[in-house]
């Protein structure tokens, strides 16, 4: 019995010591970037869990078409009028756009992709620097670049089935314009300055959407009317709807 007690004490002490060493090693300069990225991802998902942010809070649009319109109108006192219109249309997406679409950025919420990158990147960086006994920041950074590239492809593999799932959800729920004028309920409290969540039932399926109010606070459970969709920031504009 005494032997088992000593063995348990040794295991706990050894595990605690390893955890402290891992913590110190993770926050050393050679590992600070992947560790910081991982911590930010963890903090983000905690805020999502408590309803302060939504999964799509940091999403952005990936446009495959680029249009540039330049209008110049010059009037001079010497009766010289110059009206110049320049229109440039680029039908094909540029290399950067193709690259991020290939990695499924834009096909899945950005923070899901970043999480799929941050976790394996942290593990591979920590293990590489530990087993190769790296103590130089320059060498660690040189190794970090190829590890980042490898894990970008790994993140694509992880998010590939998720991208297919979100595509099916978009097809089932419809485009944002479909919800304008619809009545639903507030799921998470919202106001005109901070995001909340609303739920809309369409064709028997419940869609959870990010929203803000036109004015004032709308508590969870209250009926709402969707007024508009703010494409740039990816949220719906709603107002409280009092049923007669």
What pLDDT does residue 193 have?
A: 85
| DSSP element (H, E) containing 66 | strand 66-76
pLDDT surpasses 50 at 147: yes
Tell me the domain boundaries of the chain.
2-59+105-173, 63-99, 176-240
Closest CA to 117 of 56, 158, 146: 158
- Say which range, 63-72, 97-106, 136-145, 210-219, has the weakest mean pLDDT: 63-72
Strands, E assignment, 203-243: 205-213, 223-230, 235-240
Q: Is the pLDDT of residue 29 over 80?
A: yes
Task: Give mean pLDDT, residues 31-38.
Answer: 95
Beta carbons of 224 and 242 less than 8 angstroms apart: no
Q: What tens digit of pLDDT does each residue of 158-194 get?
A: 999 988 887 776 655 556 667 888 899 998 888 888 8
Whole-number percent of the chain with pLDDT over 90: 36
Helix orientation angle between 137-173 and 110-131, rounded to the nearest 10 degrees: 150
State phi, psi for 52 to the nearest 5 degrees: -75, -30
Lookup result for tokens 């729920």 = 173
Instruction: Please identify which residue in the block is written with the tokens 């992709």.
Output: 113
Query: Distance between CA atoms of 237 and 182, rounded to whole angstroms?
Result: 12
Decide if pLDDT at 36 tops 80: yes
The residue that leads in pLDDT, 10 or 132, is 132
Alpha carbon distance 132, 223 (integer Å): 59
Domain range 176-240, CATH architecture? Beta Barrel (2.40)
| pLDDT tens readout for residues 92-129 | 446 777 888 888 887 888 889 999 999 999 999 999 99
Query: Are 235 and 212 spatial neighbours (Cβ–Cβ below 8 Å)?
Result: yes
CA separation for the pair 77, 63 (Å, rounded): 42
Mean pLDDT (whole number) for 38-47: 94
pLDDT given for residue 87 in this prediction: 37
In which band, very low, low, confident or very high, does the pLDDT at 243 lie, cut at 50, 70 and 90? low
**Residue with structure tokens 């032997």?**
3
Query: Which phi and psi angles does 37 have, rounded to 5°?
Result: -60, -45
Dist. CA 194–CA 196, nearest whole Å: 7
Q: From its phi and psi, is residue 177 left (phi > 0), alpha (psi between -120 and 50) or beta?
A: alpha
What are the structure tokens assigned to 10, written together? 């040794």
Region 14-22: what's the mean pLDDT? 78
């Amino acid at each position: 019995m005494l032997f088992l007690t000593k063995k348990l004490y040794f295991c706990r002490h050894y595990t605690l010591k390893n955890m402290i060493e891992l913590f110190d090693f993770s926050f050393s300069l050679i590992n600070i970037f992947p560790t910081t990225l991982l911590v930010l991802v963890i903090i983000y998902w905690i805020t999502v869990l408590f309803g302060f942010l939504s999964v799509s809070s940091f999403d952005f649009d990936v446009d495959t078409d680029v249009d540039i319109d330049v209008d110049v109108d010059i009037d001079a006192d010497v009766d010289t009028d110059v009206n110049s219109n320049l229109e440039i249309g680029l039908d094909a997406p540029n290399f950067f756009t193709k690259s991020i679409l290939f990695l499924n950025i834009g096909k899945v919420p950005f923070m899901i992709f970043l999480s799929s990158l941050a976790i394996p990147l942290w593990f591979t960086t920590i293990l590489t620097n530990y087993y190769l006994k790296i103590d130089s920041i320059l060498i660690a950074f040189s190794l970090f670049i190829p590890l980042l590239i490898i894990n970008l492809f790994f993140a694509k593999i992880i998010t590939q089935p998720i991208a297919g799932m979100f595509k099916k959800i978009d097809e089932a729920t419809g485009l944002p314009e479909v919800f304008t004028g619809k009545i639903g309920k507030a799921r998470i409290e919202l106001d005109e300055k901070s995001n909340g969540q609303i739920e809309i039932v369409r064709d028997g399926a419940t869609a959870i959407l990010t929203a803000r109010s036109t004015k004032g606070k709308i508590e969870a459970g209250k009926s709402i009317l969707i007024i508009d969709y703010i494409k740039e920031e990816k949220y719906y504009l709603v107002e409280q709807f009092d049923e007669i």
